[in-house]
Each structure stands twice: as structure tokens, then as C-alpha cells.
Amino acid sequence: MSHQDVINKPGTYALFLVYGLNRPDDIDSVKAALDGVPATVKSLRGRFPKEQVSCVIGFGSEAWDHLFPKRKKPAELAPFAEIKGGRHVAPSTPGDILLHVRATRMDLCYEVAAAAADFLGDSVFSLDETHGFRYLDSRAIIGFVDGTENPENEEEAEAAAVIGDLEPDFRGGSYVFVQKYVHDMKAWNGLSTEDQEKAVGRRKYDDRELAEGAKPENAHNAVTNIKGDDGSEIKIVRANMAFANPSQNEHGTYFIGYASTFAATRKMLENMFVGDPPGNTDRLLDFSEARTGTLFFVPSKELLEELAE
């Protein structure tokens, strides 16, 4: 089974579109989109081969139940359960269909998104639309390089992000979790560079990881470092993007993480928002608020074609 473009680089521009179903039984419009959106991407790739156009399509738990009631359901596909710590909350928000569109040009992202909207019509309504962009040299709005902890090569990325033998019926698929973070830039910029580096766990200028003795236990890259039973680090594939509406004083990071199992992502989130041990929460959360949280399943290309039929 071949996977959708889940291990692609974050890109230069991205559109994150989350839809709700207006008419859960209107499978025809959804099928039209499942057939038409990949065809649109293929056409744009032929016309603009260097612009890295892609679109990943995913489904929420309730949408899967409504749209494909006779099909087996991915084992971990369920509504995301809110994580509530002593000081921070990872909220659970609704979402039936996710489109993650990427390209080196925003006009091509628009072409894919506009085609999807035409196919879906009034069978859906918009829950969120976020326009992401690459900030400087792949940095988050807070000024640090993002995505450093991603797998280093394609083979490792596939192992981290794509379902294999553990769920043979869904081989080639992925679980994808999205969160929209809004940063308090005034408070963040009020910190010294040294304090910012301690919050992230990396140097700001050259992206070098802080030495173990200098890195606080609540640094972002410390609490999100998850190890398996064998002691090896468990990876996911992040395609985070910066977004902003400066006139509204909104500056944020759109987190999107692809994984072969959601359990790893869930553990990272629990470490961030509750702490391990409890109370050792991610220092970044003192400056960043999670506004959304939704889990989707991304079918393999072959399964997506079957669902379109």
C-alpha cells in the first residue's frame, strides 16, 4: 500500500482546512472530492512540476462512522479526549474532514482548496481555515527552528508516520493530529534569549541542542522526547507552519503531526500538558495556548480510491 504525501517537507505555503459535515449521509459530494482533489493535484503537478503541490485528506471518527458505516474502523480513530493538567488544557474540538494542502506557491494551494470546496459544496461547513507560511529559515513565529526532531531520512520517516503490520487492514495509512497554538508574543519577547533557549531546549541562533546539564526538565524538547520499551526515541513526522494575523495581534504555530500510531503523540501531549511527573509541564505552554485539537485518519492512496468508488 502506498501512503499519501504524509512525509513531505512542511513546504513554503500550506492551507489547513477542517470541515464539518452538514449532511452526514451525503456521500456523493464526499466521493466527488475524494476523486476530484487528487486529480486536481495531479494536473497541477504536471503543469507546475517544480512547485511541490500536494494534498493530504483525512477523516475524523464521527465522519468515518457516517460516511463508511460498513467498513472496518482504524483501531485508534476516536474523538480526541481533552487533556487537562493543573495549569494547561489541550482542548478537544470537532472535525470531520481535514485537507492539508502544500506547495511552494500560495496560488497553487488556493487552486486545490477551491477545487475541494466546489466538489464538497454545501454538504460541509468550515470549522477552521489556517494559512501557513514558511517563516525565515524554517522557524516558528517564536524565532526557533521548527521540525528539528523529525526523522532524518525517508525510511525513518515512513516508519514513524505510516501504518505497517500492526494494522494490516490499514497499511499505508496514518494518524494525524492537529492543534492550533496562539502565542503571547509580548510576554515571550519579554524573556531574555537565554530564558527562551531554556524554554525550548535549543540555541536560538544555530539550533544546537542545549547540553543535558544546561537543559531544564520542563524544556519543550525534553518533555516531548518519548522513548519506547527498548529505550529508543519514538518519532513522529511534524509539518508545522507559522501563521499570523498581525492586525488582530494573532501569531501562532499550526501543529500537525503524522504517526503510525496515535499513542506516541498522545503521550507527548500528556507530558506537555500534565507533566511526567505531574506538574513538570512544557515551559512553552506558559506563552502558547492550544485553541484546537482534532484527530484524523489518513487512508492509503489505494484505500482513498476505494472510498471514492
Query: Which among 5, 96, 128, 146 is annotated as catalytic?
Result: 146
| Residue 133 to residue 1: CA distance in whole angstroms | 31
Phi-psi region of 288 (alpha: psi -120 to 50; beta: other; left: phi over 0): beta
Handedness of CA 160, 164, 166, 169 (dihedral sign): positive
| Residue 8 to residue 2: CA distance in whole angstroms | 14
Give the three-class secondary structure for 135.
Answer: strand
Beta strand spans in 91-223 (E): 97-103, 124-133, 174-183
146 is catalytic: yes
Contact by Cβ (8 Å): 258, 251: no
C-alpha cell at 37: 482533489
**DSSP designation for 79:** P
C-alpha cell at 195: 530564558
C-alpha cell at 118: 466546489
Residues known to be catalytic: 146
